[in-house]
Structure 1
């Protein structure tokens, strides 16, 4: 796969700045660029009006780490090897941030990274990532001393930090005063999202002759669901549509979905069954409030770009790592389920004069295409394992997008017993989800099949419908072929024998 199809690589003087803004657990329809969305996001709408919206962007996995590794390598999880949360990206994978640093870019990370474990207060293992600025904070709560948000909060808002930490004499991960202010319930000016926004602004205002690459990772709208009051006020009761589907439909779905409805994250997270309809409505409104706070941050960042004279020379990508069920299909959070709310995400790409303004792409693309797009924009050398597309070329209609969407889940979150493994393949208006089973999975093989032309909300499972037997056979055969195509042969072949 070549870096550019017909153009020569740009010289250093013409290489763009690159800004990637990534949210966490942000579903495709919770943004104002989506038709009919309840989300109030004027700044993201304005960004989309200056660039391209990709309406069918799918994450290659429904949890954080595998997709984030895909976004920075250009590989599917079955190729790069970071197949689940709690796994470290294997050696030998090339991160585009490292490549940009080697090519002379000033590089920076603000927020979450999650290409290695950061569980229960541990500090995430630092990879050969190339980041010159590394303002790391896995989430608002993390007790590791390297949590840059906590250092900022202690310096800028010491009273709030002390209230959240409890005993400030010996602040450590075992010492959170849960009855006091939670870190996700900070006022807006002291919140994790505001910290990300301000750190990004400081980075952009730093004078440097080099082009920059900056990855700004917001933690919101990831659960737990909480937002400052001024954003909650934007969404009164009834302002966000109710969930799609409900418990009754699960009778025709794989049994693990009923388990997850009763116990999200294998009992480690809030579950649909724990809430009344009013409680689910509050969650949905709070989630949208979290998105609106991010939108305000995006607006501040884009204004800083303009004020610093950087806007015209900067490629901006707004994307997320995966979605959130929000009560749809009687489910919360995410997991092995491959409904669009869990696996489809917003994607906006803006680059003045190069990405057509106001353009909408309806073909399939993936989060892993971000890495390939960056490589092309910066004129980097090709990466042999790159499986992505150039989103700029797709937006300019210089190349076609994919004819399919693909995602894979390999017991990637809190482990199920027996393990849960799913693969999703969508072609045109047909979507199949294979729930891998015996002999090794310890679960019966089953699946889901949706005719999206007649059932866009994925309510009626046609997996066992005789009228769809031929379509199921064709789709499952394609799944087998694509698994072979996406997997990586990890050792280089040096001779025929």
Structure 2
């Protein structure tokens, strides 16, 4: 009788345990949050790779990014395929090259049919959010080039992002306005980086129970260079800043001035990122969040005597790229030296998220190499400028080009043939052009072969700019199409 009672008690205990166990099973949404990582992309505009403390710059103050780098994969050669705002964004969101998605010129629209990051993640049960600068709505052929920059982006043009606090484009970072999901106009009070970050923190807190993908897109440190809050401007004395050796003497004072303002923007962003990192910890989702910090392109900042981007030099094409994912990579940093291009970012993020890349994506998924603790095994990243425009239009010396950036070399050709060849290891400031030098003939031939292979793989026949503008039914802005009649015959 005693044994029977014990057996009955044991059986009842098993049944009750199973019952309560089944009752306490998480719902499907909670299971997703345990399996699927969140994804947050912090995008700065025009922040070049050289201007962060963790890459050895001792005069810029980026303590929060330096801390983030100590816990992240550090990509030493993150290369923007096309160093301009809208083309980078389109390539990042689609995983395609500019001549595939068609955004190779600012303020041209990314087609509605494009399959984008947000739409792919949505299919996997993710919430999607976007805050800040968009720059992919563009304008109609017969409208003024900048006509859509102050208008709301229609719902069907948001490419799968549901949570929406967005301005198409602005370079006024103080008391700027934006539109919400219902096209209602609001104002970011003060320096917009800070309230935009607050909005991102709120989004994280509200969505921490299920997987989400969030893109936080800042406007600075893109010019204007002198509009950061005064406390950050006061952090830098332009007279004490050192410029890169490839800044001509005549431009060094100007370089120091713009660098001080540029650094002020960067340090303000760094402060905001610190708040975001703290919020991830407090929300308890930091470990299972893939956090990306990067930029669209760099800024010459008077290197070679010029400002801004489009050019094929490291100041313009190399961008910072940090990827932190503690659940898979731990909390230690690791340097990745092989180059990675813009179209590779989306498929790699999808791979890290255990999501198969759709066939529309042209970039490579390097997640397997990253999970294995290896370098990428990628020989080179493609760089291009199908159509020069705006500050580097034809009449300002702009030219079409295609090129590659390897771990060590930069090789570029224009329509007239080989143009640039730099040994970036021996010549980090790209002051000694080796192109067509007999002593590096074999090297140049090797780089040419790699470039031709890249162009063939992307169906790029490297045509003059006019051909692409006609093919996509685009109009040039202002005087961008004006160039010398004998352009092809002029000697360099």
Provide the residue aligned with 1:3 in structure 2: none
Q: Are the aligned partners of 1:244 and 1:327 in contact in 2 as well (CA < 8 Å)? A: no
- Tell me whether 1:429 sits opposite 2:408 in the alignment: yes
Q: 17-26 or 89-98, which moves further after superposition? A: 89-98
- Structure 1 residue 67, shift from structure 2 partner: 1.1
Q: 387-396 or 69-78, which moves further after superposition? A: 387-396
RMSD, aligned α-carbons: 2.8
Query: In 2, distance between residues paired with 1:24 and 1:37?
Result: 22
- Structure 1 residue 13, shift from structure 2 partner: 4.1
Query: In 1, distance between residues paired with 2:247 and 2:389?
Result: 23
Structure 1 pair 201–11 and aligned structure 2 pair: CA distance change class (3 A): closer
Query: In 2, distance between residues paired with 1:194 and 1:292?
Result: 12
Q: Are the aligned partners of 1:152 and 1:195 in contact in 2 as well (CA < 8 Å)? A: no
Q: Give matches, 1:370-381, under 5 Å.
A: 370-381=345-356
Provide the residue aligned with 2:93 in structure 1: 72
Q: 367-376 or 144-153, which moves further after superposition? A: 144-153
Query: In 1, distance between residues paired with 2:122 and 2:66?
Result: 31
Q: Give matches, 1:81-480, under 5 Å.
A: 81-117=102-138, 119-122=145-148, 123=151, 124=153, 126-127=156-157, 129-137=159-167, 138-141=169-172, 147=179, 151-153=185-187, 157=189, 190-207=190-207, 209-226=209-226, 227-247=228-248, 277-335=252-310, 337-356=311-330, 357-390=332-365, 392-397=367-372, 400-401=375-376, 402-414=378-390, 416-417=393-394, 420-437=399-416, 445=417, 447-480=419-452
Q: Are the aligned partners of 2:93 and 2:116 in contact in 1 as well (CA < 8 Å)? A: yes
Question: Which digits, 9 at most, give the CA deviation of each residue in 1:313-353, with x for residues without a partner?
Answer: 21101111111000111111112x11101000000000113
- Tell me whether 1:482 sits opposite 2:469 in the alignment: no
- Structure 1 residue 205, shift from structure 2 partner: 2.1
Q: Are the aligned partners of 2:61 and 2:267 in contact in 1 as well (CA < 8 Å)? A: yes
Q: Are the aligned partners of 1:28 and 1:346 in contact in 2 as well (CA < 8 Å)? A: yes
* Structure 2 residue matching 1:218: 3-state secondary structure: strand
Structure 1 pair 33–351 and aligned structure 2 pair: CA distance change class (3 A): same
Computing the radius of gyration over CA atoms, which structure comes out larger, 1 or 2?
A: 2
- Structure 1 residue 371, shift from structure 2 partner: 0.9
Query: In 1, distance between residues paired with 2:329 and 2:460?
Result: 32
Structure 1 pair 191–428 and aligned structure 2 pair: CA distance change class (3 A): closer
Q: Are the aligned partners of 1:24 and 1:320 in contact in 2 as well (CA < 8 Å)? A: yes
Q: Are the aligned partners of 2:337 and 2:407 in contact in 1 as well (CA < 8 Å)? A: no
TM-score (normalizing by structure 1): 0.76
Query: In 1, distance between residues paired with 2:178 and 2:67?
Result: 35
- Structure 1 residue 219, shift from structure 2 partner: 0.6
- Structure 1 residue 413, shift from structure 2 partner: 3.5
- Structure 1 residue 207, shift from structure 2 partner: 4.6
Question: Which digits, 9 at most, give the CA deviation of each residue in 1:449-471, with x for residues without a partner?
Answer: 11223212100112242323333
Q: Are the aligned partners of 2:208 and 2:285 in contact in 1 as well (CA < 8 Å)? A: no
Q: Are the aligned partners of 1:243 and 1:329 in contact in 2 as well (CA < 8 Å)? A: no
List alignment gaps of at least 5 residues for structure 1: 1-9, 158-189, 249-272, 438-444, 490-497
Query: In 1, distance between residues paired with 2:253 and 2:176?
Result: 36
- Structure 1 residue 45, shift from structure 2 partner: 1.1
Q: Are the aligned partners of 1:69 and 1:77 in contact in 2 as well (CA < 8 Å)? A: yes
Count of residue pairs the alignment pairs up? 412
Question: Which digits, 9 at most, give the CA deviation of each residue in 1:119-166, with x for residues without a partner?
Answer: 53523565251111111122244999854699543xx75xxxxxxxxx
Structure 1 pair 216–207 and aligned structure 2 pair: CA distance change class (3 A): closer
TM-score (normalizing by structure 2): 0.77
Q: 365-374 or 23-32, which moves further after superposition? A: 365-374
* Structure 1 residue matching 2:53: 3-state secondary structure: coil
Query: In 1, distance between residues paired with 2:135 and 2:381?
Result: 24
Query: In 2, distance between residues paired with 1:111 and 1:215?
Result: 8
Pick 1 or 2: higher relative contact order, CA cutoff 8 A, min separation 6. Answer: 1
Query: In 2, distance between residues paired with 1:103 and 1:277?
Result: 51
Structure 1 pair 216–366 and aligned structure 2 pair: CA distance change class (3 A): same
Question: Which digits, 9 at most, give the CA deviation of each residue in 1:371-429, with x for residues without a partner?
Answer: 11231233333311323344554333355411112211112532734772111212342
List alignment gaps of at least 5 residues for structure 2: 1-30, 140-144, 462-492
* Structure 2 residue matching 1:50: 3-state secondary structure: coil
